[in-house]
Amino acid sequence: MALTANLGTQAAAKFGAVQTYTGAEAIYRGATVLLKLSDGLVYKAVEDGDDSELFLCVGHAMEELTAANATLGGSDANIRVRNDGKLKRTLTGSPATKVGRLALVKDDEIVQTYETLGSGTGIVVGRISEVINSTEVYVDFHDKPSRTVSNNNQ
C-alpha cells in the first residue's frame, strides 16, 4: 500500500553507508563481509563457486568482531559494516589489465576476476578502480551490480 501520510521519525529509516549486522563468526576490521541470505547473519568472505550458500557482499568491516562475542549472539555479536569506499586488496593474477573489471571474492582480503575464477559463479565485491603494484589493487565497494553475475557479464 502506498503512503498516505509522512513516514514518521528518522528512526524509521537507516541512512548512510554504514549498517550494523549480526555476525556469526570472528571477523577482522577491514575484512570483506558477506551476508548469508538463508540466515541473515554476516560472515568473513569466502569463495562460493556454486553459489550454494547464497551470499551477498555487504561491504567491509569497520571493527573487529571476536569469536567470543559472535557466539554470544544478540547485540554482543553486532558489527558495523561500510558499503562504500575504495579498499586495497590483493588480486590473484596480473592486475595491470584489470582496471574496470569486477572484483570477486576469493577470501576476506583477496579478490579475483572471472579469468582466474574459471567456471561457476562469483560473489561480486566491487569494481577494480586502480592498480597499486603487481599484486595489489583498489576495489571500489560501491560500484557493483546486485548479488552475482554469470561468466558472460564482465
* 125 or 116, which is more confident: 125
Q: How many CA atoms lie within 13 A of 119 on its CB side?
A: 0
- Please tell me the distance from the alpha carbon of residue 10 to that of residue 29, in angstroms, as a whole number: 28
Distance of CA 104 to the CA centre of its chain: 9
Tell me whether residue 93 is in a domain: yes
User: What pLDDT, in 10s, does the model give residues 65-120?
Assistant: 999 998 888 888 999 999 999 999 999 877 777 899 999 999 999 999 887 776 66
Tell me whether residue 66 is in a domain: yes
3 state SS of 101: coil
- Please tell me the distance from the alpha carbon of residue 103 to that of residue 118, in angstroms, as a whole number: 14
In this predicted structure, the answer to whether residue 19 has a pLDDT above a threshold of 50 is yes
Contact 17, 84 (CB under 8 A): yes
Share of the chain above pLDDT 90, in %: 53
- Please tell me the distance from the alpha carbon of residue 55 to that of residue 45, in angstroms, as a whole number: 9
Tell me whether residue 13 is in a domain: no
Mean of per-residue pLDDT scores for the chain: 85
Distance of CA 115 to the CA centre of its chain: 20
| pLDDT at residue 10, as a whole number | 58
* 60 or 52, which is more confident: 60
Rounded mean pLDDT of 33-41?
Answer: 93
Number of domains in the chain: 1
Tell me whether residue 4 is in a domain: no
In this predicted structure, the answer to whether residue 121 has a pLDDT above a threshold of 50 is yes
Q: What is the CATH number of the domain that holds 119?
A: 2.40.300
| pLDDT at residue 154, as a whole number | 46
Task: Please give the DSSP secondary-structure letter assigned to residue 135.
Answer: S
Q: Which domain holds residue 75?
A: 18-149
Cell of 29: 576490521
Tell me whether residue 3 is in a domain: no
Tell me whether residue 80 is in a domain: yes
Kind of pairing, strands 86-91 and 110-112?
A: parallel
